[in-house]
Copies of this chain bind each other. A is one copy, B any other.
Amino acid sequence: MPRNKRHLEQGEKKQAILTAAAELFTENGFDGTSMNAIAKQAGITPNTIYWYFPGKDDVLIGVLNDLVRDGLTEAMTMAGLPVRERLMHAIGVFERPESLMNTVHARVAHSEAIATWHARFHMMLEQILISEVCKVGIPTERAATVSRLLVYVIEGLLSHPHQENDRHEMIDAMLELAGVDA
């Protein structure tokens, strides 16, 4: 017979920690947020976080997965709109005063967990872009290369603070160069 748990909230508390972490990461960045700060925000002690997550990197991964989930969900609801608009919106979801993508890239070399998350993320993003890019009239044999270039441009935008019209300009220019029927 299965032994028990506490307040019936196994996953809920985990989510509460992630919510607290997401808020602080967004405000102060990953490096600017201590486990102590996350714990305080969640109303617990830092030790408790380690019962739910192996380490700080894994908290980051949890936050990133929530972000991806939200981004994909919202992208679904925008199914009718053109690629350009959906791209613009997705970048908005991941853009923060303190972009977490920079942290991911900086930590890939130090953390196995972050490295595999990053690899998965790239594959997913590239697959999505390839299919989107084909839909707007880019020949199949070019789609993979164009998608990789797009990934880099998107990450470039996420890595650097920019105005919204810069974002439009860069994405439009890239799509135009790639030969998208505007």
Residues of A within 8 A of B (CB): 29, 31-32, 97-99, 102-103, 105-110, 122, 145-146, 148-149, 151-153, 155-157, 159-160, 169-170, 173-174, 177-179
- 7 smallest CB-CB distances across A and B, nearest first, come from A152-B156, A106-B106, A102-B105, A177-B177, A102-B106, A145-B173, A152-B153
Contact B105 A98 (CB under 8 A): no
Task: Find the B residue at minimum CB distance from A173.
Answer: B145
* Total copies of this chain within the assembly: 2
- Bound Cα distance A151, B120 (Å): 25
Chain B residue contacts of A122, Cβ below 8 A: 160
User: Min CB distance, A164 to chain B, in Å?
Assistant: 15
Residue from the list B99, B106, B174 in contact with A31, Cβ < 8 A = B106
Closest Cβ–Cβ distance, residue A116 to chain B (whole Å): 14
